[in-house]
Structure 1
Amino acid sequence: MTLSPAPPVPAAPEQDAAAGPRPDRPCVTELRLSAFAGHRRATFPLGPLTLFTGPSGSGKSRALQAYAALARLGGGAELAEVFPDPVACVPERARPDAQWRRGFRIGCTADGPQGPVRLDVAVQAEPELRIVGERLTSGGLVLLETALRDPSRPVVQAAWHTAGATPVTRGPLPDDRLGTALLPLRVAGKTDGQRRVLDAAEQMVVALRSVFACDPSPRRMRVPVPLGAGRLLPDCSNLADVLWRTRAECGRRHALLTAAVAAGCAGEVVDLLAESLGDGTVRALLDRGDGRRTPLKLLGDGELRYVALALVLLTGPGVLEVDPVGEVPAALQTLTVLADGFDRRMDRLQARELLRLAARMCERGHIRLVGAVSEPSLAAGADGATVVDLSA
């Protein structure tokens, strides 16, 4: 099971004034699910604010899962960590080949200073989990290509662009990690061709990392939590610990958060704070004014998810539990938030207020959001959103 030859990729044209300049911060602008769960030959455009919509079972969550998987692979994670149940990612009606192999294919495009860079990955799920093919291309040129040659060995044969005395360099790469993420360790960067390979690989890796996939859990948010590092977890269960930190560190952002919470929660809200319980734990409260305080545990599920997602949108990599690219300045990175069930358990007022906040934050360029919403009209009314309708 190897990647079939890709169709020719035209060279990236020079961008004109109407198209705008290439982004300074690398970002993922397209997600491709060639064969993944219920998706086949699917290509999804991704903007600063992207909303997937469609009925239950249409594949919204699967699309976000594929994006999150690519992000983790870009960060160097092993394949088994990224896909604990790989068979569930295989298209339902996919038949095994003569060697009883089945798998799935995903990919993306990252735009940035190097222009559009494409990554496509073929994963074998059965009988063994392994990457059996990978291709990194830019401007119509294949910069990296791997293929499984000997199924008895845990490696793939890789070939990367050199453009020196030897046009292509070949060597083995492990079959349980993304080759693109390993290139800086294997390519010397001595020729123009090698430097082009490294620049494209770095753009892809920077675009994929710094992803925060979150799904707030109201049940866990209601329990007091111990004071810790103040970095928000994906389920937002330690929101009180994060508030304890951020309220003191950045008064301006905390004021914006309080205003957002006041717009989406019932009753008056003048502040959002964390209170020590004297046993090493803290709990979060809403200050209603005149000395009245409401513990967050008393709020409804929709309100709790609204508060958590508002906090995510108004903070950054220094507060969220993400995998930033340490060797690249923060000013050249973009945080991408993946929010499955973005409007889950919220009323229309809360969902609309949260989308307005998301649109404002994404417009600034420091954050991107890819979310899934259940209400098509909600997505259609979001300013500046790229809407991917899976109902067809």
Structure 2
Amino acid sequence: MIASLTSPASPRPSPARPGDDEDRPDRPRVTELRLSAFAGHRRASFPLGPLTLFAGPSGCGKTSALRAYEALARLGGGDGLAEVFPDPVACVPERARPDAQRRRGFRIGCTADGPEGPVRLDVAVQAEPDLRIVGERLAADGLVLLETALRDPSRRQVQAAWHTAGQASVTRAPLPDDRLGTALLPLRVAGKTDGQRRVLAAAEQMVVALRSVFACDPAPDRMRAPVPTGSGRLLGGCDNLAEVLRRTRAECGQRHARLVAAVRAGCAGPVADVLAEPLADGTVRAVLDRGDGIRTELGRLGDGELRYVALALVLLTGPGVLELDPAGEVPAALQTLTVLADGLDRGLDPGQRGELLRLAARMCERGHIRLVGAVSDASWVAGTDGITVVHVNYPSLK
């Protein structure tokens, strides 16, 4: 059974302290992930800070939490339901029983903070017998700004009602059942009344908070071979690391110098530079310049070193270099890139883990990037300031 979407509004956050985020604008950001019923999670709520680590043993649900976050991000970017959930039945809680109409589904949601205060989004998805959004709620300060519901299962649409505060308190209209209504509101709401403008501002805050997400899980086996030149945008598996290195070295010497320093701290042997060498066949390969006339192909490095180099590059670049679709109509100064890194510590030795964590903390503190990672054990981060550690357990493991 798909339950109704009911939840109290979150309290407004405390005002920012002077100097927070280097006096930048209050960028929209996701501060809570809710998995009311998703895969092995039930009634789960996870706080998200600038640098958040999901920790727990294998099978506890860290990866599914990151997948739910990525799914919300893609829905916020306008992707269709079937694209976001190619295997929706896998998202249904294992013990969920179908109702009289053979319906089963799942529920996810999040809170985005920003200039409008905390804005909550909750979505109910039917996975069987047909994939569709059957309920959505956008709310702020206890006021429901958008609510949708499936009224006629024979039609591929939901009935939507949004707050207007004009002569009529709400406006009603059908919306497609395979798209997030919140992302469609700017096309449907005129913004003529205070109520409509409030709806638009809340929807924009949620969409901007969700849109700039880069899901990253470097795959060393695919990073070793030379690659053809292309767009210069880094893929989630970091397969095309070499061509991206060529671009970043040419475009920003300061960030490249930081990358070289990070690689020097986390890789064995001397490192004077990190280069991308063009080859005769038109491909390019990445190498470490040892500073004594010797160059080491990155393909000769171990899996842990390759993952470390790739993750450091991700943290030191931005939306223009990573393969994602940020909100192009919103100035970059108002956006925050969120990196989702499953298995953040996989293959890394203690020294590499520490260096990567310090780099992530520095970049997150500056305010233009957020990191949500999954680790098997977070004991090694104890005592480090600015990190939110979320210990994940499926109900059956408690």
Shorter-normalised TM-score: what interval?
over 0.9
| Residue of structure 2 in register with 1:9 after alignment | 9
- Displacement, 1:374? 1.3
Residue type at the aligned position of 1:147: A
Q: Tell me: CA distance 1:5–1:129, structure 2 relative to 1, closer, same or farther (3 Å).
A: closer
| Residue of structure 1 in register with 2:280 after alignment | 278
Say if 2:219 and 2:237, in contact at 8 Å, map to a contact too: yes
Residue type at the aligned position of 2:290: R
Q: Tell me: CA distance 1:10–1:110, structure 2 relative to 1, closer, same or farther (3 Å).
A: closer
- Displacement, 1:13? 7.3
Residue type at the aligned position of 2:233: R
Matched residues in 2 for 1:249 and 1:10: separation?
Answer: 42
- Displacement, 1:80? 0.4
Residue type at the aligned position of 2:128: E
Residue type at the aligned position of 2:169: P
| Residue of structure 2 in register with 1:138 after alignment | 140
| Residue of structure 2 in register with 1:103 after alignment | 105
Q: Tell me: CA distance 1:14–1:192, structure 2 relative to 1, closer, same or farther (3 Å).
A: farther
| Residue of structure 2 in register with 1:200 after alignment | 202
Matched residues in 2 for 1:61 and 1:99: separation?
Answer: 31
Residue type at the aligned position of 2:323: E
Alignment of 1:217-228 (within 5 A): 217-228=219-230
Q: Secondary structure at the match of 2:339?
A: strand
Alignment of 1:1-392 (within 5 A): 3-4=3-4, 6-9=6-9, 12=12, 15=15, 24-391=26-393, 392=398
Moved more, 250-259 or 370-379: 370-379
Say if 1:3 and 1:133, in contact at 8 Å, map to a contact too: no
With the length of structure 1 as denominator, give the TM-score of the two structures: 0.97
Say if 1:22 and 1:115, in contact at 8 Å, map to a contact too: no
Q: Secondary structure at the match of 1:358?
A: helix
Matched residues in 2 for 1:258 and 1:355: separation?
Answer: 16
Say if 2:109 and 2:121, in contact at 8 Å, map to a contact too: yes
Q: Tell me: CA distance 1:164–1:3, structure 2 relative to 1, closer, same or farther (3 Å).
A: farther
Q: Tell me: CA distance 1:334–1:16, structure 2 relative to 1, closer, same or farther (3 Å).
A: closer
Say if 1:3 and 1:147, in contact at 8 Å, map to a contact too: no
Say if 2:27 and 2:336, in contact at 8 Å, map to a contact too: yes
Matched residues in 2 for 1:107 and 1:13: separation?
Answer: 19
Say if 2:5 and 2:136, in contact at 8 Å, map to a contact too: no
- Displacement, 1:132? 0.3
Q: Tell me: CA distance 1:386–1:84, structure 2 relative to 1, closer, same or farther (3 Å).
A: same
Residue type at the aligned position of 2:330: V
Say if 1:2 and 1:148, in contact at 8 Å, map to a contact too: no
Q: Secondary structure at the match of 2:162?
A: strand
For residues 19-39 of structure 1, the C-alpha deviation after alignment (integer angstroms, 9 at most, x for no partner) is x89961100000000000111
Residue type at the aligned position of 1:59: G
- Displacement, 1:8? 4.0
For these two proteins, the number of residue pairs brought into alignment is 391
- Unaligned 5+ runs, structure 1: none
Query: What percent identity do the matched residue pairs reach?
Result: 79
Q: Tell me: CA distance 1:147–1:2, structure 2 relative to 1, closer, same or farther (3 Å).
A: farther
- Displacement, 1:59? 0.5
- Displacement, 1:15? 4.2
Matched residues in 1 for 2:375 and 2:127: separation?
Answer: 30
Matched residues in 2 for 1:368 and 1:16: separation?
Answer: 17
Residue type at the aligned position of 1:9: A
With the length of structure 2 as denominator, give the TM-score of the two structures: 0.95
Q: Secondary structure at the match of 1:350?
A: helix
Matched residues in 2 for 1:295 and 1:42: separation?
Answer: 45
Say if 1:29 and 1:109, in contact at 8 Å, map to a contact too: yes
Residue type at the aligned position of 1:352: G
Residue type at the aligned position of 2:4: S
- Unaligned 5+ runs, structure 2: none
Runs of 4+ in 1 over 4 A off after TM superposition: 13-18, 20-23
Q: Secondary structure at the match of 2:32?
A: strand
Matched residues in 1 for 2:89 and 2:28: separation?
Answer: 32
- Displacement, 1:14? 7.2
Residue type at the aligned position of 1:167: S
